[in-house]
A and B are shown apart, each in its own frame.
Chain A
Amino acid sequence: MTVTDRPSIADQPRYDCRDAYVETLAQLAEADHRIVGVVNDSVGSSKLNSFRKAFPDRLINVGIAEQDMVGVASGLANGGRIPFVSAASCFLTARALEQIKADVAYSNTNVKLCGMSPGVAYGELGPTHHSVEDIAWLRAIDGIRIIVPADPIETAAALRWAAASEGPVFIRVSRMSVPKVYSDDYEFRLGKAITVRDGNDVTVISNGTVLWRALAAAERLAEEGISTRVLSMPTVKPLDTDAVVAAARETAGIVTAEEAVTAGGLGGAVAETVVQHHPARVSILGFPEFAPTGSAGYLLDRYGLSPEGIADAARKLVMTGK
């Protein structure tokens, strides 16, 4: 896993992670008959038409009924299947939260929850369709591994890992196009941060669609002579606390940058760790409120999740010293 070495990550071609998702899911299903898809009418929005064509019996569409969808997935797992629930993250995690808690997490069933188009991907459709709370909600539930891939390579790797690993997993699958951050030989390791750029003045911890923006921020800061450590944190739970504590100890402070609420997400997890193990300054970037009307890109910029916004937050930590 190396950072692409072209001049700026911001200039790289962009990819929709859903394409990697459906391609990988089809490969996994081809190799393992236990794998099934479960959807709430979300065939098109999950880009699963080709999967349905290849495995017509193995794409279970319960209709627009999220509670039933997650309960059905739990029952399928009881029968020995490996269900990949594929639904817009806002409806999957909010409408079926109790089923996720009781039928999946507490029952410890082998269900893979795939939150499609998370964060503010639905932009102008507004806060009803934004899924910025999903991470915070699921972090509060025991027994669910939470993965937020940053690019198509990591999306595919995380899916392969989830299929091979027994037990509940939640994976965000981004709709907003992103450049590749990882090289093709990337292997997902649960609970491990990846130093995608080393540095010792300040740290940015990020994941998902924001990770490449953090790297672009680090490029700008380097021009000013600020050395930025960028930690990719695809696993929000269990968190790589060693990497967080090392960043707190070795740099002026930590900026967390994610497409999620500022309470209880990656930022919350990092802050909880730092406060308990090595108090340090943490600047949490994300969505502190219901977002106003605007495209996903506009909203990310507005709430400081642009390369410049992340660089600003990092600069402030460096300026005010260690």
Chain B
Amino acid sequence: MTLTVEHATLPVLGRLPAHSSRTEQIAHIAEAAKQIRIQDLKLVHYAGAGHIGGDYSAIDILATLYGAVLDISPATVDDPERDRFILSKGHVAGALYTTLAAFGFLPVEELATFLKPLSALNGHPNRTKVAGVEANTGPLGHGLPIAVGHALSAKLDVSMRRTYVLVGDGELQEGSNWEAMMAASQYQLDRLTVIVDRNRLQQGATTKETNDLDPLPEKAAAFGFAVVEVNGHDHGELLDVLSAVPFRPGKPTFVIAHTHKGHPISFMSNNVAWHHRVPDDAEFAQALKELS
């Protein structure tokens, strides 16, 4: 099986016109999420590698951010005043590339190079090679400190630009996140939003069995964050929360997005086996059917 340009068929959705209604925005995000999932499934199936479980738990969040929240477009990808999105869980690079392509940051045909020799589309994102990538993540626990640094730069500039960072829940076992959260609180970075992809699964087991994060809301609140919990697959809830930050002046926001790895595919959802398993032909056909 080889990934070819015939498998890169994602329609470019772009941005909605300004002042679109909430209903229009939600429909737009839903369509983007659906198309991104279909394309991402093809990438993983034909490339024979990837992290589809984590991709699928994060795609609704990515589609909401790029579809209706972030003040960034292909034309402003180098604008100093753009909003920043940092993907800390860098292993879901496939979902990020597909999202960037859906919104016009990356040529759709380029997706066909995913993981191939000398491709810009490495298994983890590289800011020096892909427009729209803000940091070379992959090792866990790096995105949140970088986001704090960016939010500090915006504060020094007296700028209204916002910083969003998506972290995995298992990733929060890395101590560097908590160092960064203390600093975010100390510096009152209320234009910083941490989104946790709370799928409750890590590589080989549940977070609870491994090194339990709960009570996560209380922990984040104790570190000085305004904490909000949402259904991480509900586009309306995500849109309302992510576009409404900050919730408390002077406090950074901690959004716990409850998700399922592999959502919404029946045989993948909430199944730890799908951390980086690759769907075979039958599974591919079944997943495609469920998404269409």
Measured CB to CB, the residues of A under 8 A from B are 36, 57-58, 60, 62-63, 65, 67-81, 83, 98-99, 102-103, 106-108
Query: A102: which B residues are within 8 A, CB to CB?
Result: 136-139, 142
Stretch at the interface among B1-9, B68-76, B180-188: B180-188
Query: B147: which A residues are within 8 A, CB to CB?
Result: 75
Query: A78: which B residues are within 8 A, CB to CB?
Result: 84, 134-135, 146, 149-150, 153
| Known contacts A72-B148, A72-B183, A78-B84: A67-B153 contact under CB 8 Å | no
14 A-B contacts (beta carbon < 8 Å): A60-B187, A63-B186, A65-B180, A68-B180, A71-B149, A75-B146, A76-B149, A76-B150, A83-B149, A98-B142, A99-B176, A102-B138, A107-B127, A107-B135
The closest CB in chain B to the CB of A105 belongs to: B136
Measured CB to CB, the residues of B under 8 A from A are 80, 84, 86, 126-128, 134-139, 141-142, 144-154, 156-157, 163, 175-176, 179-180, 182-183, 186-187
Q: Name 12 extra pairs, CB < 8 A, besides A71-B176, A74-B146, A81-B156.
A: A63-B183, A67-B145, A68-B179, A71-B146, A72-B145, A72-B148, A75-B86, A75-B146, A76-B153, A77-B149, A78-B146, A81-B153
Q: How far is the CA of A201 from the CA of B2 in the complex (A)?
A: 63
Q: Are A72 and B152 in contact (CB under 8 A)?
A: yes
Q: Are B146 and A103 in contact (CB under 8 A)?
A: yes
Q: How far is the CA of A130 from the CA of B227 in the complex (A)?
A: 42
Q: How far is the CA of A35 from the CA of B137 in the complex (A)?
A: 25
Q: Are B128 and A107 in contact (CB under 8 A)?
A: yes
Query: A67: which B residues are within 8 A, CB to CB?
Result: 141, 145, 175-176, 179
The closest CB in chain B to the CB of A36 belongs to: B156
| Known contacts A67-B176, A68-B183, A107-B128: A75-B142 contact under CB 8 Å | no
**Taking chain A's interface residues, is the majority helix, strand, or loop, or is none over half, making it mixed?**
helix
| Known contacts A71-B176, A103-B135: A63-B156 contact under CB 8 Å | no
Q: Are B156 and A72 in contact (CB under 8 A)?
A: no
The closest CB in chain B to the CB of A107 belongs to: B136
Q: How far is the CA of A103 from the CA of B145 in the complex (A)?
A: 10
Query: A98: which B residues are within 8 A, CB to CB?
Result: 139, 142
Give the residue of B80, B136, B150, B175 whose beta carbon is less than 8 angstroms from that of A75: B150
Q: How far is the CA of A106 from the CA of B136 in the complex (A)?
A: 7
Q: Are A72 and B180 in contact (CB under 8 A)?
A: yes
Q: How far is the CA of A250 from the CA of B288 in the complex (A)?
A: 71
Q: How far is the CA of A81 from the CA of B154 in the complex (A)?
A: 10
Give the residue of A58, A68, A70, A79 whose beta carbon is less than 8 angstroms from that of B150: A79
Q: How far is the CA of A102 from the CA of B84 in the complex (A)?
A: 18
Q: How far is the CA of A190 from the CA of B147 in the complex (A)?
A: 32
Query: A68: which B residues are within 8 A, CB to CB?
Result: 145, 148, 176, 179-180, 182-183
Q: How far is the CA of A111 from the CA of B45 in the complex (A)?
A: 39
